[in-house]
Amino acid sequence: MAKRRSSTARKRAKKAAPSEKSRRQTKAAGPRATKASAKKAPSKKSAAKKSAPKNAAAKKIAPAKAAASRRARKPAFDARLDSANDPSWIAPVWDDDLLLGAHVSTAGGTHNAPPRARAIGATAMQIFTKMANRWAERACESDECHSFRAALGDTRVRATIAHDSYLINLASPDETLRRRSIESFVGELQRCAALGLDYLVSHPGNFIDDRASGIRRNAEGITEALARAPGQTILCMETTAGGGSSIGSSFEELAELIALIPEPYRSRMAVCVDTCHAYSAGYDLVNAYADVWAQFDDALGRERLAVLHLNDSRTPFASRRDRHELIGEGSLGERAFRHIMNDERLERVPKVLETPKGTDPTATDAKMLARLRSYRSA
């Protein structure tokens, strides 16, 4: 063992030592070669020092990104954690005529949505009729429709709303995507008709290339879909926050879109105002509440207002960003929602929450609905 170690050590020393040839070359080149080689080969210590600021910056950025990612992630619905399935949960019952509720989960089937709406004391309810982030389509069979309506009959819900898939873009210049969107949109309308829903809320598309062309494509897609899916469901175009190439951040733009849809289909068109989106798009519901609704009336007419999405905002006024927050805990604060809850002109308009739900949607939504009712003047 000792001999083996001695032999290995000799080999390493020989390998590390400069050859006779390299020693002669260095000697001939003089001191400049020695200095040059020293410059070319910085020490490990200096290399580490140079990279340290970058590494430190990366360490500072990483937690910020991670935090943003955590905020963006929504917890998946877990029925086991939801108070609607807790036998001890007491559903609130309100003695008023308000149409007020929330978007509720259809996990396990659409027939499970009405009991969840009842658990929060809702009189208005919004659902997805399919998975919102997938293209997979489905039809609502007669057994499902019967179960849904029977479950709905056991609640105080008087206004039913669906929200369409987030993937649909009727304004796209990409003909393949647009055609797929139209087919999906037809399916949305057909499911609403089968389930007997009052309203379908839809985000206007993204024009991508040219705004005017995008609005025209959107109107043509809506017209085709309404022609292929007759029914009583009212289609509500939702106000958007105005980011990127989205259509619908101004009341005038929504009016232009609706005007391009011919009768008899235009009679099935209405508008959904989302408070977070409108505020982020530059409509000051906090300090210029009356002016905002005057602009709506001038551009669209109050008769076009069919649904309100009540959401506070995580971002400042006119941010052009769509980030929902709990009622009274964002940049709109209590003041805007006090205006809305005491506005007699909006009393008969269905209002639904789309605020963050945490791990217990029923408890969170019930708390937000109680908070909204507390804003009403005695």
What confidence score (pLDDT) does residue 19 get? 52
pLDDT in tens, 227-240: 999 999 999 999 99
Average the pLDDT over each of 48-52, 164-168, 299-303, 363-367 and give the range with the smallest value: 48-52
Q: Which residues contact 182 (CB under 8 A, 6 or more apart)?
A: 170, 221, 224, 225
Confidence of residue 274 (pLDDT cuts 50, 70, 90): very high
Across the range 29-41, mean pLDDT stands at 44
What confidence score (pLDDT) does residue 12 get? 54
Highest mean pLDDT among 38-42, 67-71, 123-127: 123-127
DSSP one-letter string for 266-335: GGGEEEEEEHHHHHHTT--TTT-HHHHHHHHHHHT-GGGEEEEEE-EESS-TT-----EE-TTSSSSHHH
* Rounded distance between C-alpha atoms, residue 172 and residue 246, angstroms: 10
User: CB of 218 within 8 A of CB of 171?
Assistant: yes
pLDDT in tens, 52-93: 444 433 333 343 344 344 444 567 778 788 999 999 999 999
Residue 357 has pLDDT above 80, yes or no: yes
Higher per-residue confidence, 161 vs 79: 161
Across the range 125-150, mean pLDDT stands at 97
3-state secondary structure of 163: strand
Q: Which residues contact 230 (CB under 8 A, 6 or more apart)?
A: 193
Tokens 């619908």, located at residue: 248
* Rounded distance between C-alpha atoms, residue 31 and residue 39, angstroms: 13
Residue 303 has pLDDT above 60, yes or no: yes
* Rounded distance between C-alpha atoms, residue 312 and residue 305, angstroms: 19
What confidence score (pLDDT) does residue 80 get? 82
Q: Is 174 left (phi over 0), alpha (psi -120 to 50) or beta?
A: beta
Across the range 329-349, mean pLDDT stands at 97
Say which amino acid occupies 57.
Answer: A
What confidence score (pLDDT) does residue 78 get? 83
When the pLDDT of each residue in the chain is averaged and rounded to a whole number, the result is 87
What is the end-to-end Cα distance of the chain in Å, rounded? 95
Residue 354 burial (C-beta neighbours within 10 Å; 0-12, 13-18, 19+) = middle
What confidence score (pLDDT) does residue 65 get? 42
Q: What is the dihedral of CA 75, 248, 270, 104, to 10 degrees?
A: 0
Q: Which stretches of 124-209 are assigned E, i.e. beta strand?
A: 124-127, 159-163, 199-202
Q: Which residues contact 378 (CB under 8 A, 6 or more apart)?
A: none
Average the pLDDT over each of 64-68, 306-310, 344-348 and give the range with the smallest value: 64-68
3-state secondary structure of 100: strand
What confidence score (pLDDT) does residue 38 get? 43
Strands 312-313 and 324-325 turn out to be antiparallel
Across the range 279-306, mean pLDDT stands at 98
Half-sphere exposure of 176 (CA within 13 A, CB side): 0
Across the range 357-369, mean pLDDT stands at 97
User: CB of 268 within 8 A of CB of 228?
Assistant: no
The pLDDT > 90 percentage for the chain reads 77
- Tokens (6 digits) for 347: 């009393």
What confidence score (pLDDT) does residue 180 get? 98
Residue 320 has pLDDT above 60, yes or no: yes
Confidence of residue 378 (pLDDT cuts 50, 70, 90): low
Across the range 104-108, mean pLDDT stands at 97
pLDDT in tens, 207-233: 999 999 999 999 999 999 999 999 999
- Tokens (6 digits) for 328: 């009274």
What confidence score (pLDDT) does residue 61 get? 37
What confidence score (pLDDT) does residue 377 get? 87
Domains and CATH numbers, the chain: 98-374 (3.20.20.150)
- Tokens (6 digits) for 76: 């998946």
What confidence score (pLDDT) does residue 278 get? 98
Q: Which residues contact 363 (CB under 8 A, 6 or more apart)?
A: 83
CA 90 from chain centre, in angstroms, equals 30
User: CB of 327 within 8 A of CB of 312?
Assistant: yes
Residue 364 has pLDDT above 60, yes or no: yes
Residue 176 has pLDDT above 60, yes or no: yes
* Rounded distance between C-alpha atoms, residue 16 and residue 57, angstroms: 37
Residue 254 has pLDDT above 60, yes or no: yes
Higher per-residue confidence, 39 vs 328: 328
How many Cβ atoms sit within 10 Å of the Cβ of residue 122?
Answer: 29
b or e along 158-192 (b: 16 or more beta carbons within 10 Å of the residue's beta carbon)?
Answer: ebbbbbbbeebbbbbeeeebbebbbebbbbbbbbb
